[in-house]
Structure 1
Amino acid sequence: MAAAVQCRQPLRRVERRGRMDRREGEALHWRISEESSHSLPDGRTVSCTSPSEMLTVWEDVNHNDAYLAAVQGLAQGALIVDAGAHYGLAALFFAHHVPNPTILAFEPVPTTFECLRENLSRHVPGGRPFRCALGRRPGNREMTYSPVAPCVSTLHADHEEDRRTLEAIVTNTGGNAINALDLLQQRDATNYTFPVPVTTVTEVVEQQGIGTIDLLKIDVERAELEVLDGVSDEVWPGIRRIVMEVHDVDGRLAEAASRLRTRHYEVTASQPTMFRNTNLHMITAIRD
């Protein structure tokens, strides 16, 4: 079974917001029931807290050309760092396309982390889960979390952008707009904030004794530039490839691409069909 690796900064007590009492909050954040096991389209069973969201994320990962380009040609035993691992579906995708990878997977939300740990244990023998976020500097940050839409948990809440994005994704995928609006209303009524530990790519490299990161995957809901900020000049030469989701607000897509080109990566920006009419874009950066 994949052992959980704790970040250096300890989690403090979950802070309660809204109408949820302490007992309900503890059950929400720390327990996974048997009902959380669901099947992927390929028949594999995974743990998740939102089955409909899980299927949407799986669709995104498996039909996203940026992810496929990022793993093509990676050798057996490649080391992958997954920032914003969520349920671990990207890790399952990577493990399918790369022989025997080592995947260090970072997810700070407690319930989502427990799903991640279970899914790596079932399906990714080389997976190692870390219960923390990656960012600009070590410490603790406030995470905004919605039980009905864990994939938009974020250090930088923007409910209006999330609303527009979800509505567009529903349209792009032929989903039910009425159900999507119901989901948005539930999400807005059940948002919670609590502190989570944050570390950096540089600290991970130093603490884990890593020489080369073959692929750094970043999907961190508007904190993507902060993950890049957490890579020191000494560590950059050891990162061969990057695949990242970028929220293109205030020129963030151009800035991310410029930073990576300055580091001598070959950069490709794209927008999957699922993300049409949203601020979401993908970047693949390769320097083999």
Structure 2
Amino acid sequence: MSNIIDGQITKSIEMSDIKFPISYRPDTTDTILLNSIFLNNQYKIPFEINPKFIIDGGGNVGFTAVYFANKYPDATIISIEPESSNYKILKHNTSFYKNIKTIQSALWNDDAEVKVVDIGHREWGFIVEPCVKEVEDTIRAITISSILKNSGFNEIDILKLDIEGSEREVFSSNYDQWLSKVKILIIEIHDDMKIGSKENVFNAISQYNFEMSSLGENLIFIRK
């Protein structure tokens, strides 16, 4: 069934084990994400857990948050997405779930002013760059530590990061405020988008007691 969400043409699809229909934009990267997350189980953790708090960094149109909300209905999920057209679909897809909260912002290493930049990677490939001062179309970035502090939880059970190279900044400084409180980190590293992303992630992770494995196209770090 076709629909219009904030001026964007969408279709909805019903899927087994998902409570509510999911909206997506046909002929966009939404269709690839839909298959990756719901059919190929891109974020299926290979052991049983009962998470209470999940951060979905790089929420895109809300597929990951919806996946986690159905798999872990007792968890509180915060989904963060900076780009406006994606965020509008994310708000719609997550509006059916009381345990999902959304923030239109970008994850960063401090509360800086940033802007969303289209580098031609379509709907799933917007990057974030810092701004010297607040100008039109800038947004206020947010840190993982501030999200955790305001959540009411002491730890992050699952931290999913697919933030198109902003992992370079997130893991460049101030990660000591939150990384030791992460139980499971699922991350896609985009060194092709921002050189230094991989180096910063591994430098930070090496200071803590994590075991690494792969989870589809992501890396998964599990705190020992």
The answer as to 2:66 corresponding to 1:130 is no
Deviations 1:16-72 (A, max 9, x none): xxxxxxxxxxxxxxx7147434225558533344554222011222355662127x4
Moved over 6 A (4+): none
C-alpha contact 2:52 2:75 (8 A) present in aligned 1: yes
Which structure carries more strand by proportion?
2
Q: 1:236 to 1:222 in 2, by over 3 A?
A: closer
2:222 aligned partner: 286
CA distance in 2, matches of 1:210, 1:127: 15
CA distance in 2, matches of 1:243, 1:259: 15
Deviations 1:185-213 (A, max 9, x none): xxxxxxxx932220100111223333111
Secondary structure of 1:247's match?
coil
1:73 aligned partner: 48
1:151 aligned partner: 124
Q: 1:69 to 1:284 in 2, by over 3 A?
A: same
C-alpha contact 2:8 2:25 (8 A) present in aligned 1: no
Q: Write out aligned runs for 1:45-60 (5 A).
A: 45-50=21-26, 52-60=28-36
Q: 1:64 to 1:217 in 2, by over 3 A?
A: farther
CA distance in 2, matches of 1:135, 1:40: 34
| Cα RMSD (Å) | 2.9
* Aligned length, in residue pairs: 210
In the TM superposition, residue 217 of structure 1 has moved relative to its aligned partner by 0.5
In the TM superposition, residue 137 of structure 1 has moved relative to its aligned partner by 1.2
Q: 1:153 to 1:98 in 2, by over 3 A?
A: same
Which structure carries more helix by proportion?
1
2:82 aligned partner: 108
Amino acid at match of 1:216: L
CA distance in 1, matches of 2:213, 2:174: 20
C-alpha contact 1:48 1:112 (8 A) present in aligned 2: no
Of the three residues 163, 168, 171, the one matched with 1:220 is 163
Amino acid at match of 1:211: N
C-alpha contact 1:103 1:128 (8 A) present in aligned 2: yes
In the TM superposition, residue 94 of structure 1 has moved relative to its aligned partner by 1.3
Q: 1:221 to 1:65 in 2, by over 3 A?
A: same
CA distance in 1, matches of 2:103, 2:205: 26
Larger Rg: 1
1:266 aligned partner: 211
Q: Write out aligned runs for 1:169-248 (5 A).
A: 194-229=137-172, 231-248=174-191
Q: Which structure has more RCO (C-alpha within 8 Å, separation ≥ 6)?
A: 1
Secondary structure of 1:69's match?
coil
Gaps of 5+ in 1: 1-30, 157-192, 273-280
**Normalising by structure 2, what TM-score?**
0.79
CA distance in 2, matches of 1:88, 1:210: 22
**Normalising by structure 1, what TM-score?**
0.63
C-alpha contact 2:109 2:175 (8 A) present in aligned 1: no
CA distance in 2, matches of 1:148, 1:242: 25
Amino acid at match of 1:47: S
In the TM superposition, residue 119 of structure 1 has moved relative to its aligned partner by 0.8
Secondary structure of 1:214's match?
strand
CA distance in 1, matches of 2:119, 2:7: 18
1:141 aligned partner: 114
Amino acid at match of 2:99: G
The answer as to 2:21 corresponding to 1:36 is no
1:179 aligned partner: none
Q: 1:147 to 1:119 in 2, by over 3 A?
A: farther
In the TM superposition, residue 146 of structure 1 has moved relative to its aligned partner by 7.8
Q: 1:68 to 1:40 in 2, by over 3 A?
A: same
CA distance in 2, matches of 1:49, 1:196: 24
